[in-house]
Chain A
């Protein structure tokens, strides 16, 4: 798959879920990146897809970095500020590795699909076998290189599994257009593989969603 090839070409500089997100976005699109960090994804999409991008980021230092790079980013909070955007003002609303840190993931997801035609959500999969194993073997909340914080100081308050997320999408009448997971070795699991395998082997998953007509 072409994403894998790109990942091999850029082994360190670009986050893998960003490359997958990029593959889902069409050129010249209007993109809102919620929880955009210092703007790495927006910059990638601006350079390679010529998008008209905007970002929201909660951490002020990150916002300042992004604006200094010439990106249109505001300091704000996904839980609080998405209501301000008009309906269908973007082609894509992206939430990359952020949904687990929101107070109300369901409401945020509904907002994404109100603001944009498509929502792209990437999240760490709590159903990954390594995490299951940590709880089973040690009886403690998992700490991994991707999720290094202890339970008491993590900003991630709403973890879910691939299965949980798919269930939520179903409950809010949302269509999963595409789902790609990344396994522990950085290999991609595509749509052809059944969902329970994503849930077991995927370290991170990326979902492309649209509202059911």
Chain B
């Protein structure tokens, strides 16, 4: 499945106006690169779908992505001194539609509880950027994109990417917008890994960081679950060694099974019990067969099949691998405190009591590493029975903590309520 901004424009069905800007910026290695920004403005939403193209991205593996594209949504207005930008990083199966309608599913944005006018991440006050990660399938360069060297879809020829590469690509993006320092970087789960990577590698460009329900390295258990998911995809005969797009097949079943297994890890025993218990699905008694007798089975099947409509199987393989490779401990000789040496960034670490995928103790490790640097850190462990998914849900204590943290930061940085009167539009 490919999904590019073009497709999205059609699904939106509104009178869109396209703007193409050319501009020059300096890349990470100090070389001048030319980048182009294609802007699509939706007539009746406040978000903008944009793509950013750059000449090349040198990857951690040693390979180079050339050229590469980042598709992103932006909300609000960048102020004159470009000091009010908040970067929202999405999770494994997330995308750039944090606070705008999803073009494929038609659902509202995945983080509208936090992002929007008057919300803690107030789009009336801040310029909010949400990019699709490199390796993703919603317009950023990924395994479903065309390999310029062969003219064919990358498939498994797509180079292995890391969380570090995703963030490096985002650095190019904010460079192209002339943003020197992000007011805040926020994200949950894999989004939280990107936040930690930003704060560790580019700390002077991050005024405040909000890593939620995440860890500084992917645990053995989590790698194990990811491996189950990948094997499910690859075991589907329609996967065709990753060349399903050319073969006009679709490993739907494999990807759906991967999603079903993963989905269990996003919930909790308590949440499943209170939501479904042993309730039967539209029947009085069990059928003595392998039909979805139980509501929980039916729910998981639904989750699995809904997912394949919007996600690319190879992207799933690549992005899960990127998470597996993430290890800020190893990058600093086993001592996490080394990742945040003398950091000036303000941190707000958030975890949830029933999250067993990224348990509280892993957030506490981050907090300990930060306190070892006498960093400015807040840490809230939110009591919830919703499991890992809680970071996407209406958890009032999470919302009030983030709101308090962001407004205190704004005060410290001297961002006024009318910060976006003038600026980029």
User: Residues of A with Cβ closer than 8 Å to B?
Assistant: 52, 54, 60, 63-64, 67-76, 81, 84-86, 89-90
A76 CA to B409 CA, complexed, in Å:
22
Q: Write the B317-352 contact mask toward A (1 if CB under 8 angstroms, else 0).
A: 000000000000000000000000000001011000
Separation of A89 and B259 alpha carbons in the complex (Å)? 46
> CB-nearest residue of chain A relative to B400?
A68
- Which residues of chain A come closer than 8 Å to B409, judged between CB atoms? 70
Q: Cβ of A76: which chain B residues have Cβ within 8 Å of it?
A: 367, 379
Q: Report B370-409 CB contacts with A as 1/0, cut-off 8 Å.
A: 0111101111111100000000000001001101110111
Given A71-B408, A74-B367, decide whether A85 and B374 contact each other with a Cβ distance below 8 A.
yes
Query: Among A72, A81, A86, A89, which residue has its beta carbon within 8 angstroms of that of B378?
Result: A72
**Is there an interface contact between A68 and B371, defined as CB atoms closer than 8 Å?**
no
CB-based contact A86/B376 at 8 Å: no
Inter-chain contacts of B378 with A (CB < 8 A): 67, 71-74
Q: Are A81's CB and B368's CB within 8 A?
A: yes
Q: Is B380 touching A69 in the complex (CB atoms < 8 A)? A: no
B404 & A67 in contact (Cβ 8 Å cutoff): yes
Q: Give the A-binding residues of B (Cβ under 8 A).
A: 346, 348-349, 367-368, 371-374, 376-383, 397, 400-401, 403-405, 407-409, 411
- Taking a contact as CB atoms closer than 8 A, the residue among A52, A60, A67, A85 that contacts B371 in the complex is A85
Task: Show 15 A/B contacts (Cβ-Cβ < 8 Å), sorted by A.
Answer: A54-B377, A60-B380, A64-B380, A67-B348, A67-B380, A68-B400, A68-B404, A70-B407, A70-B409, A72-B378, A73-B378, A74-B349, A76-B379, A84-B372, A86-B373
Given contacts A63-B380, A81-B371, 10 further A-B contacts (CB under 8 A): A64-B380, A64-B382, A64-B400, A64-B401, A67-B378, A67-B380, A68-B404, A70-B409, A71-B404, A76-B367
Shortest beta-carbon distance from B352 to chain A in Å: 11
Most buried by B among A52, A54, A74, A85: A74
Q: Closest 7 interchain pairs by CB?
A: A70-B408, A89-B374, A74-B379, A68-B404, A68-B400, A67-B401, A84-B371
Q: Are A75 and B372 in contact (CB under 8 A)?
A: no
B343 CB to closest chain A CB, in angstroms?
A: 13
Residue of B381, B401, B407 most packed against chain A (CB within 10 A): B401
Whether B408 and A63, one on each chain, are in contact in the complex, defined by CB atoms closer than 8 angstroms, is no
A72:B376 contact, CB within 8 angstroms = yes
Residues on B with C-beta less than 8 A from A52 are 376
Contacts of A73 in B (CB 8 A): 378-379
Residues of A within 8 A of B367 (CB): 74, 76
Bound Cα distance from A54 to B407, whole angstroms:
17
Q: Measured between C-beta atoms, what is the minimum distance from B103 to chain A in Å?
A: 35
Cβ B403 vs Cβ A68 within 8 A: yes
Alpha-carbon distance A67/B120, docked complex (angstroms): 13
B360 shortest CB reach to chain A, Å: 9
A72 with B346: CB separation less than 8 A: yes
CA distance A67 to B346 in the complex (A): 12
Distance to closest chain A CB from B368 (angstroms): 5
CA distance A97 to B303 in the complex (A): 51
Task: Say how far B23's CB is from chain A's closest CB, in angstroms.
Answer: 37
- Whether B380 pairs with A70 at a CB distance below 8 angstroms is no
Given A71-B408, A72-B346, A81-B368; A86-B374 close (CB under 8 Å): yes
Q: Are B381 and A60 in contact (CB under 8 A)?
A: yes
Bound complex: CA A89 to CA B378 (Å): 17
Contact A70 B405 (CB under 8 A): yes
**Which chain B residues lie closer than 8 Å to A54 at the CB level?**
376-377
A75 to B364, CA, bound (A): 9
Verify A69–B376 contact, CB threshold 8 A. no
Q: Least Cβ distance of A208 to chain B in Å?
A: 22
The docked-state distance in angstroms from the alpha carbon of A98 to that of B110 is 42
A66 to chain B, nearest CB (A): 8
Cα-based distance from A89 to B376 in the complex (angstroms): 11
B383 & A69 in contact (Cβ 8 Å cutoff): no
In the complex, the answer to whether A86 meets B404 with C-beta atoms within 8 Å is no
> Which residue of chain A has its CB nearest to the CB of B369?
A84
Is A60's CB under 8 angstroms from B383's CB?
A: yes
Checking B368, B376, B381, B382 against A84 with a beta-carbon cut-off of 8 angstroms, the contacting residue is B368
A64 and B397 form a contact (CB under 8 A): yes
Q: A60-B380, A64-B382, A74-B378 are in contact. Are A69 and B404 (CB under 8 A)?
A: yes
Complex contacts, A85 vs chain B, CB 8 Å? 371-372, 374
For the complex, what is the distance from the CA of A69 to the CA of B400, rounded to whole Å?
9
**Contact flag A70-B377 (CB < 8 Å), given A60-B383, A86-B372:** no
Residue of B nearest to A82 (CB): B371
Q: Which residues of A contact B376 (CB under 8 A)?
A: 52, 54, 72
Q: Report the Cα distance A77→B147, complex, angstroms.
A: 54
Q: Measured between C-beta atoms, what is the minimum distance from A117 to chain B in Å?
A: 13
B374 contacts across to A, CB distance below 8 A: 85-86, 89-90
Residues of B within 8 A of A69 (CB): 404, 408
Residues of chain A lying within 8 A (CB to CB) of residue B380: 60, 63-64, 67, 75
